[in-house]
Amino acid sequence: MAARADNTEQQATPGTKPGVALHADPSSPEAQDAMWEAALAGVEGELDEDDSVTIGLLRGARRNDASRYGVSAKRRHARILQIFGIVRKYDVFGGITPVKFRRMLEELGPTFVKAGQILSMRSEILPERFCSELTKLRSDVDPMPYETVIAVLEQEYGGQFGELFDAIGEHPLGSASVAQVHRARLATGEDVAVKVQRPHVQEVMAQDIDIMRSLVRHLTPFFKGEQFLDLTSVVEELWDTFREETDFLVEARNLEEFRRNNEDCKFVTCPKPYLRLCTKHVVVMDYVDGITISSPARLVEEGYDLTEIGTKLVDNYASQLLDDGFFHADPHPGNIEVFGGQIVFLDLGITGRLSPSLRRIMRDMIFSVAERDTPRLKSALLRLSSTSPDEVDHAELLADLDEVVDEFGTVSLSELDLGSFLGNIIALARRNGIELPGQITSMARGLVTLEGVLDEFLPGVNMIDIISQHIRAHTDAAEKLRHDASELAIRGKAATKGLLGAAAQAELAMSMLTRGQLKLNMDFVGSEDPIDDLSHIADRLTLGVLCVGFLIAASAIVMSSRVSADAFCVLGVPAFAFVCYVLAFALAFAVLHDIWARHRRKHGK
């Protein structure tokens, strides 16, 4: 949702004096109850005391966001029943498809819709098919009543409301799960867009997050060993994201920072926020009546060059990522407009940040693929990871990276499929137990989203070629020299530390050897229990020797000329020789069957 008016049916000209349409006192118990019931969708109960943290002698401290925002146990239990009813309806435990998952989140309400929108940018958590489907989560929902919007504004500004605003458009420009936007006119004459947060949306989120925490606490013991995802950290990350996005002062500061970063760029901007009018629940910014990037025909009619727009858009996004380290994390078509010869980024509620070290690593990864340098790519990937290098199978990681380099390193940078490349890197990291920081996956999702925009609406604009040119143009010789010197110093320090450590280990090993205390630990690659494997090999060898021995004994008896004519025979073969043949063939069959069975188990067939 953004401050825009693409649909002419929704372009309500401000003309309604604020407060005129409001017939009920917003501070009255009736109005408060109505807003609360609309937010909680029928969940009833009484408020608890306002405590956000509890302590216990046995269980320790525990966060309690539900109590902090006034959600009682009765409301919580009612919401749990509602959630389980919807989950049971979609048969989650029997298996769920991406489409059913999206529809279930929509039915669960705004908290889960927002969670789905966030998860759609985290392909290290969900498979790519689910992420793609979650990008379709609706941004337009049933709008708040106009009276509720006015009530929220009056609560935020008190008696100054009528003095600040001259008119508020009755019809919303857009309505989403967290807030909706109305066109308005300030008393000083500026044409603005007002983003109003739905009443008690944080209370609803706190209630749902509290339920999620309880579920995770009970489900975590069942996800041991192979679990690659820390469920608790995911829930806490969702809550932190919710709090940031629902604090509209953060979005106002994001708008101001974005404008400051791009003040020297004549072709990119964002709506100007009116910071003195912004609160935790309201953002007031310039009204932008632009042409969305998803309407290329209209852009051409207005005289714009689509190739120029695409080139400048990608170059600026590369600058956001690699130069500023502050970027728009959700550049879908609805959040990008062209107005007055400028590309306007809307809705700065979801942003990302990259530290200088992360930006250097990303540069290294792009060029290491182009130069087919697998060790350099592995080093960059491990520097990104919070996983200890000792916990990674380096041989397997190098083999996987060789496949990536073979697939993408044979093409020029201008032909590199960036979306596929990043998807392969994230999947490879997950497969090798490498935990990537959330900023990287947000950046990857942003790039993939932008690449999809280019492919659909601005064909002919090569994203990776523009990014690589941007990197080269903004990396002068002095900076490259400083970077190389820094890399050399880091690697030299690591090498020196490794040599000293190796010398210390060698001294310890020699000391243990002279005392007879040295033990040898063997580790077979691809084997979970090497002793068991060795025992199995010995068993096979024993059976093989017995099989050969029976064959030799039987053959010796048959070839012997001393066998009497009246000896008992089976099929013309002396009985003892026949038994030896049967045992030999039985042992051979047993060995072959065991080999085949272990092969099938190993490959999961």
Nearest CA to 309 out of 460, 471, 469 is that of 460
Contact (CB, 8 A) for 483 and 491: no
Q: CA separation (Å) from 82 to 35, 76, 87, 190, 214?
A: 20, 10, 9, 45, 16
Which three-class secondary structure string do you get for 26-93? CCCHHHHHHHHHHHHCCCCCCCCCCCCEECCCCCCCEECHHHHCCCCHHHHHHHHHHHHHHHHHCCHH
Confidence at residue 271, expressed as pLDDT on a 0 to 100 scale: 96
Confidence at residue 26, expressed as pLDDT on a 0 to 100 scale: 40
Nearest CA to 329 out of 310, 353, 313 is that of 353
Q: E strand or H helix at 421, and its extent?
A: helix 418-431
Question: How far, in Å, CA of 178 to CA of 144, rounded?
Answer: 11
Which three-class secondary structure string do you get for 208-232? HHHHHHHHHHHHHHHCCCCCCCCHH
Q: CA separation (Å) from 306 to 44, 295, 334, 416?
A: 53, 11, 17, 21
Q: Tokens 């068991």 identify what position?
A: 532
Question: How far, in Å, CA of 275 to CA of 192, rounded?
Answer: 13
Contact (CB, 8 A) for 117 and 141: no
Written as one letter, the residue type at 71 is V
Question: How far, in Å, CA of 183 to CA of 191, rounded?
Answer: 8
Confidence at residue 226, expressed as pLDDT on a 0 to 100 scale: 41
Confidence at residue 259, expressed as pLDDT on a 0 to 100 scale: 95
Confidence at residue 58, expressed as pLDDT on a 0 to 100 scale: 40
Question: How far, in Å, CA of 260 to CA of 272, rounded?
Answer: 10
> Phi, psi (5° rounding) for residue 332?
-80, 165
Residues 6+ apart with CB under 8 A from 42: 82
Confidence at residue 285, expressed as pLDDT on a 0 to 100 scale: 97
pLDDT average per 10 residues of sequence, the chain (605 residues): 43 46 42 42 38 43 55 78 87 82 86 76 71 74 89 91 93 87 95 93 82 75 49 69 82 95 93 95 95 92 93 92 89 91 91 85 77 82 76 82 76 62 76 78 80 82 77 63 60 69 74 68 57 74 82 76 63 76 83 79 62
Cα Rg, the chain, nearest whole Å: 34
Q: CA separation (Å) from 242 to 111, 139, 209, 575, 577?
A: 8, 16, 10, 84, 81
**Which bin fits 303, alpha (ψ -120 to 50), beta or left (φ > 0)?**
left
First-to-last C-alpha distance (Å) of the chain: 49
**Pairing verdict, β 282-286 and 191-197:** antiparallel
Confidence at residue 475, expressed as pLDDT on a 0 to 100 scale: 63
Confidence at residue 534, expressed as pLDDT on a 0 to 100 scale: 72
**Pairing verdict, β 268-269 and 342-345:** parallel
Confidence at residue 291, expressed as pLDDT on a 0 to 100 scale: 94
